[in-house]
Amino acid sequence: MDCTRVNWEALDALIIDFVTSENLVVEEDACANSSPSPSSSPCISSSSYHARLIIRRIRNSIESGDIQNAIDTLRSHAPFVLDDHRILFRLQKQKFIELLRKGRHEDRVAAIHCLRTCVAPSALDAYPEAYEEFKHLLLALIYDKDDQTSPVSNEWAEKRRYEMAGLMSSVLRASLQAYDPLFSMTLRYLISIHKGFCFHQGISSAVSDLTHRLLLEERDPPATPLESMYEAPPFDEVDIQALAHAVELTRQGAVDSMKFAKGDLFQAFQNELCRMQLDVSVLDELVKEYCIYRGIVDSEIQMITGPVKRNQFEVAHRLSRDCSTEIDLNTSQHSDVEDYSMLDGALVNDAEMSSKEGGEVGSERTNVSEDCSNSWSNKCENTRALVRIRSHMNCESNKRKRWRGRIDETDRLPDPSFSKSETGINPLENKYEIALALKELVSRGMVAEAVNEISTMDPDFFTQNPVLHFHLKQVEFLKLVSAGDHNGALKVACSHLGPLAANDQSLLKTLKETLVVLLQPDGNTTGKDLPLNDLANTLQVSVGNRLGIEEPQLMKIIRATLHSHTEWFKLQMCKDRFSNLLKIDSLKEVNTDLIGAIKSRSNKENNANLSSQLTTTSSSTMTSEDGGSSSLMMTTQTSSREALWEESAILKVMEFLALSRSDAIQLLSQYNGNAEAVIQQLFG
């Protein structure tokens, strides 16, 4: 699972959409010298956000027993919901119970009045069993709420509040199209599949503790379709089975969900996903940790969790002394990611080194000169170095946001103050800034500067990370060739690429392909639009390990669940119909070849058709040799296995026996694809 490659830029986009949609962040001023904005308070302009606030307010009211407030809010914002007499009757029943629960004489009088004027009339129009339920409810007048043996103990139970609140949330969410942000739904889906895959395979999960705390077992009750929808035309069995297995429903549950969504598969899927309950406080903490690590929000001392040793504050660095070097910063804006799976060993070495140094790192030092001897924990140049970083990253840091957190919409709280400390830069913040600054340098193509600064800070760093060093020097080589400096490129190859490849035979193939670039005609080799994002991310992780920065837990969850998603649909022998909707395909889209990117660009200029053929062949060959499985290979393999049996036979076995797709195919394999024989054998 740790080797699963992830497009972190695609995840960044989902996270930014999430924190913006939920108003968890506020924008920073564009520049320090610019005039301040009139108001730094977050602006809630999204109609979906307003709708979710309404749903949350109604849910809170019902869960606290204030049914009348929930009804009033519905009448103000969603009166059409009360046109459903089934819902109105259930709300009035709960209102009656809550009035009795208060126990005072005036509340009992009010409860009886509610029975006469609200519950009884609504029972006549709700549904056939409603009047019997009404008469049964009268028993609550004579049985105490604490009597667990009474025939109305279920009506007294407070869990009925939460069931009603969940039902109202499901109905309102679908009616108002107030779905949770895409990232929230994607995370629910991936964790659900991850749990199912681990259970099916009988394996333990490295992130089970996190996923169990994050995705709760409880689900909101489903919104049931109106009686007028009961005679809806039959739905495609393919859609029914896809929905049932995607969100773990019975077949009838999937049919009812499709009826409520009026046959829209994807709307039904979103309705069911949003019924799954996430622990919002846990989710927010995971997202905040990730945002700090990725530089989406500014880091602050109170945002860092866990105990911190004194020396972890003692972080220093040096950045490039020459900031005026002309470098082409037009790096690709696409989320291209390279294959650095070979770096795993190097990263593990870093982690092991950090753990071995743990005793020395954790010890309290009193000798200042001894502190300054450690290149990664030297604070002597700390302030000056970080100023240089921020001068380099001025434009990048302006994009950052400030973490606001969730504020109860029912309270009119003043906006939190985000004034920065005037005493200087917090040392704990420095280590995040160092890793982010080096990452940004590489993503902008300033690889030589990043390598020089790291080597100056820690001469042993690249000794422990030779593969990372090779790929950084490879980029430097390509940029020199692009600039027409072939002599400089050859010096880099002789001094660095050759010796590194000699020590690691797996790099020889890449070295040969890199050197071939020298043979291309002048002007055909470009250093622009190289897929540098993953290289920059890898450098950030490696430097972070040396600085004692742990990888965010959300990254571990995403990596593990994406691995499970891939393996699960290999077992099911089909493509996930919902992966594009949830941007799962984007999270898996990785570009793994620097040389391939150059070849592709060069070939496009000469022959578009030839370029397409060469790119496909190169990608297929590269993935096969690396031991992976490209999407083309996987599709071909899956199609060949599925083609053994008719789709109608697979669906028939799935429907009659309530089996997963993979189990149905295995049974058909035993009976030569004859669905009738499978069913007859099991029921005969």
- Give tens-digit pLDDT for 578-595: 999 999 999 998 776 677
In this prediction, residue 681 has a pLDDT band, given cuts at 50, 70 and 90, of: confident
Q: Is the pLDDT of residue 88 over 90?
A: yes
d(CA 526, CA 538): 23
Q: For residue 469, which of 481, 482, 460, 457 has the smallest C-alpha distance? A: 460
Residues 293-310 have a mean pLDDT of 60
C-alpha dist (Å) from residue 646 to 240, 242, 380, 572, 661: 18, 17, 72, 15, 13
d(CA 333, CA 338): 14
pLDDT tens, 236-258?
999 999 999 999 999 999 999 99
Burial 445-459 (b: 16+ CB within 10 A, else e): bbbbbbbbbbeebbe
Q: What is the pLDDT of residue 246?
A: 94
Is 399 within the bounds of a domain?
A: no
Of 37 and 46, the one with more pLDDT: 46
In this prediction, residue 387 has a pLDDT band, given cuts at 50, 70 and 90, of: low
Cβ distance 294 to 541 under 8 Å?
A: no
Q: What is the pLDDT of residue 655?
A: 74
Query: Residue 63 is part of which domain span?
Result: 47-176
Beta-carbon-side half-sphere exposure of residue 179 (alpha carbons within 13 Å): 19
Query: For residue 117, with 0-12 CB atoms within 10 Å meaning exposed, 13-18 middle and 19 or more buried, which class applies?
Result: exposed
Cβ distance 530 to 337 under 8 Å?
A: no
d(CA 160, CA 629): 50
pLDDT tens, 606-625?
544 434 443 444 444 344 44
Q: Which of 26-40, 226-240, 325-339, 609-623 is predicted most confidently?
A: 226-240
Q: For residue 525, which of 590, 449, 593, 600 has the smallest C-alpha distance? A: 600
Is 129 within the bounds of a domain?
A: yes
Q: Is the pLDDT of residue 500 over 80?
A: yes
Tokens of 56: 């949350």
Contacts of 503 (CB under 8 A, 6+ apart): 466
Is 605 within the bounds of a domain?
A: no
Tokens of 330: 């037009």
Tokens of 537: 């991310």
Q: What is the pLDDT of residue 616?
A: 44
Q: Is the pLDDT of residue 268 over 60?
A: yes
Cβ distance 183 to 24 under 8 Å?
A: no
Q: What is the pLDDT of residue 16?
A: 95
In this prediction, residue 65 has a pLDDT band, given cuts at 50, 70 and 90, of: very high
Residue 276: helix, strand or coil by DSSP?
Answer: strand
Q: What is the pLDDT of residue 35?
A: 44
Q: What is the pLDDT of residue 320?
A: 38
Of 436 and 311, the one with more pLDDT: 436
Beta-carbon-side half-sphere exposure of residue 412 (alpha carbons within 13 Å): 0
Q: What is the pLDDT of residue 504?
A: 92
Q: What is the mean pLDDT of the chain?
A: 76
First-to-last CA distance in the chain? Answer: 43
Q: What is the pLDDT of residue 327?
A: 35
Residues 490-495 have a mean pLDDT of 93
Q: What is the pLDDT of residue 628?
A: 42
DSSP-derived secondary structure letter, 25 = E
Q: What is the pLDDT of residue 600?
A: 59
466-482 vs 594-606: helix axis angle to the nearest 10?
Answer: 20
Cβ distance 343 to 468 under 8 Å?
A: yes
Q: What is the pLDDT of residue 581?
A: 95
Of 640 and 290, the one with more pLDDT: 290
d(CA 492, CA 480): 9
pLDDT tens, 181-227?
999 999 999 999 999 999 999 999 999 999 999 999 999 999 887 76
The structural domain count of the chain equals 2
Is 296 within the bounds of a domain?
A: no
111-120, 296-305, 527-536: the lowest-pLDDT one: 296-305
C-alpha dist (Å) from residue 594 to 336, 459, 471, 475, 617: 10, 27, 9, 8, 15
Is 165 within the bounds of a domain?
A: yes
Residues 309-325 have a mean pLDDT of 37
Query: Scanning the structure block, which residue is given the tokens 């979906």?
Result: 48
48-57, 290-299, 420-429: the lowest-pLDDT one: 420-429
Beta-carbon-side half-sphere exposure of residue 145 (alpha carbons within 13 Å): 11
Contacts of 581 (CB under 8 A, 6+ apart): 266, 269
d(CA 319, CA 452): 8
Is 78 within the bounds of a domain?
A: yes
Report the percent of the chain where pLDDT is more than 70: 69
Give the residue from 176, 193, 210 where a domain finishes: 176
Q: What is the pLDDT of residue 619?
A: 42
Contacts of 662 (CB under 8 A, 6+ apart): 571, 572, 573
DSSP-assigned states of every residue in 561-588: HHHHHHHHHHHHTS--TTTTTTTHHHHH
Give the residue from 176, 194, 219 where a domain finishes: 176
d(CA 200, CA 190): 15
Give the residue from 176, 196, 228 where a domain finishes: 176
d(CA 596, CA 150): 74
pLDDT tens, 94-146?
999 999 999 899 999 999 999 999 999 999 888 889 989 999 999 999 998 88
In this prediction, residue 457 has a pLDDT band, given cuts at 50, 70 and 90, of: confident
Q: What is the pLDDT of residue 273?
A: 95
Tokens of 517: 């670039």
pLDDT tens, 535-560?
899 899 999 988 888 899 999 999 99
Contacts of 60 (CB under 8 A, 6+ apart): 410
Q: Is the pLDDT of residue 649 over 70?
A: yes
Q: Is the pLDDT of residue 517 over 80?
A: yes
In this prediction, residue 650 has a pLDDT band, given cuts at 50, 70 and 90, of: confident
Is 257 within the bounds of a domain?
A: no
Is 80 within the bounds of a domain?
A: yes
